[in-house]
Structure 1
Amino acid sequence: MARTSTSVGMGVTITILGILTFAFFVTTIIFFGQMNSARNDLADYEARMSEWVTPADQQNDQIRVFADLADRENKSAIAYLAESLNESIRLGLGGRGSITELRQASEPLVAGSSRGLVGAVRQRDSQAAQLNTRIREIEASLETAQQALLAERQKVERISQDFSRQLASMEEQVQRTTGEIESYRTGINAAEIDMDQRVERIRTAARDTEAQLQDNIRRLESENLRLQDAMARLQEGRAGDRLMPTDEFALVDGEVTGLNPVENQVFISLGRRDRLRLGMRFQVYADPSIIRPNADGDYPPGKATIEVVSMGETSSAARIIRQSTGNPVARGDVIANPLYDPNKIYTFLVYGLFDINNDGRATAMGRDELQAQIERWGGRITDELTGDVDFLVLGRRPTLPPAPPATAPLAVQQEYIRLSQLVRRYDDLLERAQRTSLPILNQNRLATLLDGR
C-alpha cells in the first residue's frame, strides 16, 4: 500500500516535471522566437539609427555632450542638434536657410582666421568699435577744427577790417605827406636859391678878405724883415750870454765823484745850491772832447744815462738807468745836460708835427707832449721867435693838399687856408732860424740831448 502511494507520488511528480519541462520548452521556444524577433527589430533599428548616428559618433565626446544637453531638456540628441542648427542658421543668416548658405555667408568672415565665426564676428565687432571710436575722435577733431576755422575766419575778418582802416589812414597820411613834401620842395628850392646867393656873397667877401690878408701879409713880412734885422743885431750884441752847442766844455755840468755798485748808483758834484731838481737826467762821458756834434748836428749819446734820485746841499745821488756794455761809469767822468744851467733857464720854440709814441703818426698833439716834457726838464716854452729863444725844435712839416676849386664847400676852403698858414709859419721859422744861426733841433736830437735815447 505504501509502495503504491510512493509510486503514485513519483508518477505525479514525474508528470508534473514533464508538464513543467514541456512548459519550459514551450516557453523557451516562445522566448527564442521573441528574442529573434527582437534581434531583428534591433538590427533593423540599428540599421536605421546608423543613418543618423554611427557607432563611432556615439563614442565622440562632443556628441555625448550634446546628448547630455538634449537629455536635460528631455529631447533627443537629433532634435537638440536640429534645433541648435536651425538657431545657428537663424542667427547667422537672420532667418531660415540651409547650412550651405550659412557656410557660404561665413566663409568671407572666417577666411584667414583660426577663431571661427564667433571669433571673427567679435573681431569685426572690436574693429567696428575701434572704428566708431576713431570716427568719434575724428568728429571731435573735425568739430574742434571747425571751431578753430571759425575763430580764424573771425580773426582774419578782424585783421582785414583793421588793415582796411589802417590802409585808409595811411592813404590819408600819404596824401598829407605828399602835400607837405610839395610844400617842402617849394621851400627848399627857394632856400637853395637863397643859399646860392649867400654863398656867392660869402665867396666875394672871402676873396676881398683874402686880398686884404695878402696885403697884410706883405706888410707884416716887410715889418718882419725889419724886426729880424733888429733881432740879429741884438743877438750879436748878447752873443756871450747864449749857449754855444759847438763848444763841448760849455755842455759839461759836473762830474762823477763816487760809485755805489750795490744800489746801481753814482754820486755827482751837483746839489741844491746848483738849482738841481729830482728826476733830472744827465749823460755821462769819459772825456769832454767826446761831446761834439756830427755832420748832421747830432750829439753822440754818452756811455750812460743817470737820473737824480736824492739831493744834498753840494752833491746828489743818481741811479744808472742806461749803461754801455764794457764801458762802465767811473769816478771822474763828466756829466752833461744841455737844458741844465744853474744860472739860466733856456727858452724853446716847438713847432710842427711830432711822433712821440713812435707809431708812425706825427700829429699836433705830439707837439703838446714834447712841450710838457721840456718843461719837466726845466725849460721854458714860447710861441714867438724872439731874441730870447735859445733852441728851435722843429717837427715834421705839415702836409698841404692841392688847392680846392672855387666851387668847393666853404669848410674845405677854410681848412685849406688854415693848413696854408701852418706851412707858411713852419717855413718862416726855419728860414729865420737858419739866417740868425739859431740852434735847430729835431725830435731825435732833442731826445739825445735830454736822455741819450
Structure 2
Amino acid sequence: MAIRSNAGTGVIVSLVVFILISIFLLVMAIIFYSGQSKQVEATRTAENTLDKYALKRERNSDQLKTIEAEAKKGRKSVLGYLLEENNALKTFVAGNPEESMENLQRRFTSMGVDSTVFNSMKDMDRRLNDSANELESLRKQAESLQNERDRLITDVESASRSRDTLIAAESKQVEQYRNATEEHLSQIADVREQMEVASDKLQDRYSGTITELEDEVDALRQEKVILKSRVEELEERINKTRIKPHDPDTLVDGMVIDIAGGNDQVYIDRGRSHQVVLGMTFEVYDDAAQIRPTADGDFPRGKASLQVIKVGDNTSTAKITRSTVGRPVVRNDVIANAIYDPEYKFKFLVHGQYDIDGDGYPSEEEAAYLRSQIENWGGIVVRSETLPGDLDFLVLGVEPTDPVRPPQDASMLVQQDYIRRKTIFHDYQELYNQARNAQIPVLNANRLHILTGGTDL
C-alpha cells in the first residue's frame, strides 16, 4: 500500500509540474507574441518611413548600390551624399545651390534648350566650331583679298608710273612734231608764195595757150558726146545681131531620136561632136512652144528630165531621171538646157548667194558650185561687179532684204553691218534693173535648175 501511495504521489507531482510548466510556457508564449507584434508593427512603420525615401524596388536597384558605395567611400550617408551631389550640380549649373529644378528648366527653355542640357551644349559647341571655322575661312578670304588689293595697288602704281613715263615721252614727241609741223607750215607758206608768184608769171606768159587748150577741151567734150552716141548705137546693133536667147523658148538644144526597150533610157541627137559631156542633164518638152515663162517669170517644168549616161560621137544615151504620169517621153520630143548650146558658149554672170541644197541657208560655197557646173557644161562664167555688154544670162541668187537703218547711237559694228547689207541689196537691185533695161534674161537658181533638167532641188 505504501508503494502504490508513493507512486500516486509521484504522478500527481509530475502532473502538477507539467501543468505549471504548461502555464509558464503559455505565459511566455503570450509575452513573446505580444513583443513580436510590436516588433512587426515597428518594422512595418520603419518600412513605410523608408518608402518615403526609397521604394523597395529602388532599394534593390544597381544604381542605389552604386550610390551607397560612393557614399561609403566618402564616409557619408546616402542622403548626405545625394544632398551634396545635388547642391554641387545646382552650383555648377546655376551658381546657386538653392535654385529649384523648375527655375532651371524655365531658364534653359528661355535660352532655346529643348532637349537635354548636354545635347544642347554639344550642339552649341558644334555650332561654335562651325562659326569658328567659318570665321577662319572668312579671315583667310579677307587676307587673300587684302593681298590681292595690295597687288592691285602695286600694279596701279606701276601702271601710273609707266603712264607718266609714256606721257612724258609722248609729250616730248608731240612737242617735236609740233615744232616740225610749224617748220613745215612755214616752208609750205614760203613754197605757196613762190608758187603763186610763179603761177602769176606763167599765167601772164601762157594765158593765150590756156585759152587755146580750153577751146580744145570743149571740142573734145563735144566729140566725146558724139562718140558715146555712136557707141550706144553700135552696142544696140550688136545686141540685135549677136546670138543671144532673149526668150528661153529658143533654148531647144536637140531632140529625142529613139526610145530604148526598157522605157527608162532614150537616145538624143547630140554627142561628143556637139560638146555633150557625161552627166549633163536636159529637160524634155513636147515642143519648143512649151518653154515659155509664166506671168511671174517662172518657167514650167518639162514632162521629164534626162541625164546623159553614155556619150557617142553624134548621139548620146540618157537616163530618164524624172517623168510625168500619162505623158511619156516619145520620139521627136525636144530637149533643153539653158547652159548648153552646141554651137555657142553662153556667158553667165552669177551674182549673190544660193541655196542649192534647199536647207534654207544660202551661201557663197553653193554659188561657187553653180559656177563650176556652168563651166563644166560649156558655159562661160563672167566674174564682174558690173553688167558687161556681151552677157547672155544674169543668174541671181536669193534676193537680199533691204536692211532697216539703225539708230544714230548704234555701235560702229552695227553701222558697218548696215552699210555692208545695204551695199549688197543695192548691187543686187542695180544688176537686176540693168539686165531688164538691156533685155538680158534674168534667171534665179530655180529657173536655171528647171531649164537644165535638174531633179535634185
User: Could you tell me which residue of structure 1 aligns to residue 50 of structure 2?
Assistant: 106
Output the CA distance in 2 between the equivalents of 1:299 and 1:397: 18
- One-letter amino acid matched to 1:303: K
Pair 1:172-2:174 in alignment: no
Output the CA distance in 1 between the equivalents of 2:375 and 2:225: 28
User: Once the 2 structures are TM-superposed, how far is the Cα of residue 338 of structure 1 from its aligned partner?
Assistant: 2.4
Residue 407 to residue 257, structure 1, CA distance change in 2 (3 Å): same
Taking the TM superposition and a 5 Å limit, the aligned residue runs for 1:18-57 are 21-52=1-32
Could you say what secondary structure the match of 2:345 adopts? coil
Retained in 2: the 8 A contact 1:256–1:335? Answer: no
Retained in 2: the 8 A contact 1:394–1:440? Answer: yes
User: Could you tell me which residue of structure 2 aligns to residue 66 of structure 1?
Assistant: none
Output the CA distance in 2 between the equivalents of 1:31 and 1:323: 163
Structure 2 unmatched ranges of 5 or more: 71-88, 90-115, 175-223
Output the CA distance in 2 between the equivalents of 1:294 and 1:160: 80
User: Once the 2 structures are TM-superposed, how far is the Cα of residue 371 of structure 1 from its aligned partner?
Assistant: 2.7
User: Could you tell me which residue of structure 2 aligns to residue 381 of structure 1?
Assistant: 381
User: Could you tell me which residue of structure 2 aligns to residue 343 of structure 1?
Assistant: 343
Taking the TM superposition and a 5 Å limit, the aligned residue runs for 1:216-255 are 230=231, 233-234=234-235, 236-237=237-238, 239-246=240-247, 248=249, 251-255=252-256
Retained in 1: the 8 A contact 2:338–2:448? Answer: no
User: Once the 2 structures are TM-superposed, how far is the Cα of residue 294 of structure 1 from its aligned partner?
Assistant: 4.0
- One-letter amino acid matched to 1:52: F
CA shift digits 1:124-180 (9 cap, x unpaired)? 537858xx9xx9xx9x99999999999889978976875675465355346446657
Q: 1:125 aligns with which of 63, 85, 89?
A: 63
Output the CA distance in 1 between the equivalents of 2:225 and 2:325: 51
User: Once the 2 structures are TM-superposed, how far is the Cα of residue 349 of structure 1 from its aligned partner?
Assistant: 0.7
Structure 1 window deviating more from structure 2 (291-300 vs 268-277): it is 291-300
User: Once the 2 structures are TM-superposed, how far is the Cα of residue 345 of structure 1 from its aligned partner?
Assistant: 2.0
- What is the TM-score when the length of structure 1 is the normalising length? 0.60
- One-letter amino acid matched to 2:302: G
CA shift digits 1:231-258 (9 cap, x unpaired)? 7624624744413354846524222412
Could you say what secondary structure the match of 2:388 adopts? coil
- What is the TM-score when the length of structure 2 is the normalising length? 0.59
Could you say what secondary structure the match of 2:319 adopts? strand
Could you say what secondary structure the match of 1:284 adopts? strand
CA shift digits 1:361-413 (9 cap, x unpaired)? 66666544443443344322112332432111234554454667888766555
Q: 1:436 aligns with which of 435, 438, 450?
A: 438
Pair 1:276-2:276 in alignment: yes
Retained in 2: the 8 A contact 1:235–1:387? Answer: no
Retained in 2: the 8 A contact 1:256–1:334? Answer: no
- One-letter amino acid matched to 1:259: A
Identity %: 26
User: Could you tell me which residue of structure 2 aligns to residue 209 of structure 1?
Assistant: none
Residue 28 to residue 411, structure 1, CA distance change in 2 (3 Å): closer
User: Could you tell me which residue of structure 1 aligns to residue 207 of structure 2?
Assistant: none
- One-letter amino acid matched to 1:172: D
Output the CA distance in 1 between the equivalents of 2:131 and 2:249: 102
Output the CA distance in 2 between the equivalents of 1:420 and 1:337: 34
Residue 44 to residue 104, structure 1, CA distance change in 2 (3 Å): same
CA shift digits 1:412-453 (9 cap, x unpaired)? 555555555545544443343333322222333222212266
Output the CA distance in 2 between the equivalents of 1:331 and 1:266: 9
Residue 39 to residue 425, structure 1, CA distance change in 2 (3 Å): closer
Structure 1 unmatched ranges of 5 or more: 1-20, 55-77, 90-97, 112-116, 195-222
User: Could you tell me which residue of structure 2 aligns to residue 292 of structure 1?
Assistant: 292
Retained in 1: the 8 A contact 2:349–2:383? Answer: yes
Could you say what secondary structure the match of 2:5 adopts? helix
Give 1 or 2 for the bigger CA radius of gyration: 1
Retained in 1: the 8 A contact 2:246–2:440? Answer: no
CA RMSD, 1 decimal: 5.0
User: Could you tell me which residue of structure 2 aligns to residue 261 of structure 1?
Assistant: 262
Retained in 2: the 8 A contact 1:345–1:378? Answer: yes
Residue 127 to residue 235, structure 1, CA distance change in 2 (3 Å): farther
